[in-house]
């Protein structure tokens, strides 16, 4: 039997060889992280007075989902030598921001959707007034939560995270992308350049913040932040291309939201510009480029590599 003392004396090479013997399993990894994020989200937002608004915020925040954004943030923090605990408040904040953007995106003034994550949308359950306020509440709380709950990280790094989150959400990010998306509705002649603008801002900016903020919290150096940023930009675009493909090929049950909405709303999409096959090829190329950015991180990049592959292989 190996004693604890013997285990402690394993060399780095031996540890790496053991890791190779037990191959990385993405679904186990994602399930484990998802459960941690779920528990952290649940305790981040207690139900208190006025219950109506907290209920509505919790309804959407705890409606399930892949939790890909928080998981990316935790993964890059670990890759850069930090811990899950250091990144969890930011991971939760990223999910709060993502959730608020979906609540507002589903409103009658925007996409007017009835279903999200397999459940009725927030405004369908609580009314438009409360849904708008729930989004506002989640957005504000996300920033408060990072500032108050991040422990064991130098204040300057926390400040940098807050600045990056603000930029990713505002007119330079999500909001800007959504504005151009709304402008282009019904315009089938939208150019590739405009389509790329929409998605690098509407989806890419927040994904990039997830990846980069995790590493910032761990104190990563600038060159590594740049590599991770390029990884994120590539998977962000690939993610959107696959989203567009799934809107055509997947069912409402698989998606948990209305399928075929893009065609119905006459939205400019990648499959409309390129066709399904070329869209699939482009997504794959972006994922390959994303993975190439991670080469210098060696074994530490295994989860991020697997997540990149998962993006093109997912069915919902
Ligand atoms: C879903 O896109 C929508 C988004 C990714 C973001 C939308 C952004 C806003 C509503 C701005 C929110 C305001 C702030 C302050 C951040 P989609 O409609 O293409 O996808 P879907 O099919 O999942 O609805
Ligand atoms: Mg929408």
In a domain, 21, yes or no: no
Closest C-alpha to ligand 1, atom 10: 105
Whether 174 lines ligand 1, by a CB cut-off of 6 Å, is: yes
What is the CATH number for 308?
Answer: 1.10.600.10
Number of domains in the chain: 1
Top pLDDT among 20 and 77 is at 77
Q: What is the pTM of this model?
A: 0.90
Residue 133 in contact with residue 183, Cβ under 8 Å?
no
Closest C-alpha to ligand 1, atom 17: 105
Q: Which atom of ligand 1 is nearest to the CA of 181?
A: 19
In a domain, 49, yes or no: no
The rounded distance, in Å, linking the Cα atoms of 316 and 238 is 14
pLDDT tens for residues 133-182? 999 999 999 999 999 999 999 999 999 999 999 999 999 999 999 999 99
| Ligand 1 centroid, distance to 178 Cα (angstroms) | 6
In a domain, 53, yes or no: no
The rounded distance, in Å, linking the Cα atoms of 62 and 99 is 9
Quote the mean pLDDT of the chain.
91
pLDDT tens for residues 72-119? 999 999 999 999 999 999 999 999 999 999 999 999 999 999 999 889
Domain ranges, residue 106: 30-44+65-111+140-313
Whether 105 lines ligand 1, by a CB cut-off of 6 Å, is: yes
CB atoms within 10 A of CB 74: 27
- Separation in Å, CA 79 to CA 65, 116, 211, 301: 24, 32, 10, 6
The rounded distance, in Å, linking the Cα atoms of 299 and 16 is 8
Q: How far is CA 287 from the centre of its chain?
A: 16
Tokens standing for residue 100: 């608020």
Whether 202 lines ligand 1, by a CB cut-off of 6 Å, is: yes
In a domain, 151, yes or no: yes
Three-class SS state of 115:
strand
Test site for ligand 1: of 63, 93, 101, most ligand atoms within 8 A of the Cβ: 101
Whether 101 lines ligand 1, by a CB cut-off of 6 Å, is: yes
In a domain, 281, yes or no: yes
Whether 206 lines ligand 1, by a CB cut-off of 6 Å, is: no
Cβ within 8 Å of residue 310, ≥6 positions away: 26, 30
In a domain, 23, yes or no: no
Percentage, residues of the chain above pLDDT 70: 92
Mean pLDDT throughout 257-276? 82
The rounded distance, in Å, linking the Cα atoms of 79 and 90 is 16
Q: State residue 4's pLDDT score.
A: 40
- Of the pLDDT bands very low, low, confident and very high (cuts 50, 70, 90), residue 11 is low
Whether 200 lines ligand 1, by a CB cut-off of 6 Å, is: no
Which ligand sits nearest to residue 143's alpha carbon? 1
Q: How many residues does the chain have?
A: 316
Cβ within 8 Å of residue 247, ≥6 positions away: 255, 259, 260, 261, 262, 263, 269
Closest C-alpha to ligand 1, atom 2: 105
Using the structure block, give the residue that is written with the tokens 């567009």.
244
As a whole number of Å, the CA-based R_g of the chain is: 20
């Amino acid at each position: 039997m190996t004693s604890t003392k013997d285990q402690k004396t394993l060399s780095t090479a031996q540890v790496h060889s053991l890791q190779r013997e037990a191959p990385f399993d993405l679904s186990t990894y994602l399930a484990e992280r998802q459960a941690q994020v779920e528990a952290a989200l649940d305790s981040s937002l207690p139900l208190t007075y006025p219950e109506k608004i907290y209920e509505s915020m919790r309804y959407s925040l705890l409606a399930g989902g892949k939790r890909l954004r928080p998981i990316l943030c935790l993964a890059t923090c670990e890759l850069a030598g930090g811990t899950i605990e250091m990144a969890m408040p930011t991971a939760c904040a990223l999910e709060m921001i993502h959730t608020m953007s979906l609540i507002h995106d589903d409103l009658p003034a925007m996409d007017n959707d009835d279903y999200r994550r397999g459940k009725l949308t927030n405004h369908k359950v609580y009314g438009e007034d409360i849904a708008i306020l729930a989004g506002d509440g989640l957005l504000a709380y996300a920033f408060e939560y990072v500032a108050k709950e991040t422990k064991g990280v130098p204040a300057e790094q926390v400040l940098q995270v807050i600045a990056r989150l603000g930029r990713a959400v505002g007119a330079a990010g999500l909001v800007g992308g959504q504005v151009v998306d709304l402008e282009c509705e019904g315009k089938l002649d939208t150019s590739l350049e405009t389509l790329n603008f929409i998605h690098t801002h509407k989806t890419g900016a927040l994904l990039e913040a997830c990846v980069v903020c995790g590493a910032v919290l761990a104190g990563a150096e600038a060159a590594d932040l740049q590599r991770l940023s390029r990884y994120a930009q590539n998977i962000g675009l690939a993610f959107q291309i696959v989203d567009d493909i799934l809107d055509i090929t997947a069912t409402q049950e698989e998606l948990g939201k209305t399928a075929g909405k893009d065609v119905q709303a006459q939205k400019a999409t990648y499959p409309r510009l390129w066709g399904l096959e070329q869209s699939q090829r482009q997504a794959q190329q972006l994922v390959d480029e994303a993975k190439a950015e991670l080469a210098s991180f060696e074994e530490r990049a295994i989860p991020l590599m697997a997540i990149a592959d998962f993006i093109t292989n997912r069915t919902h």
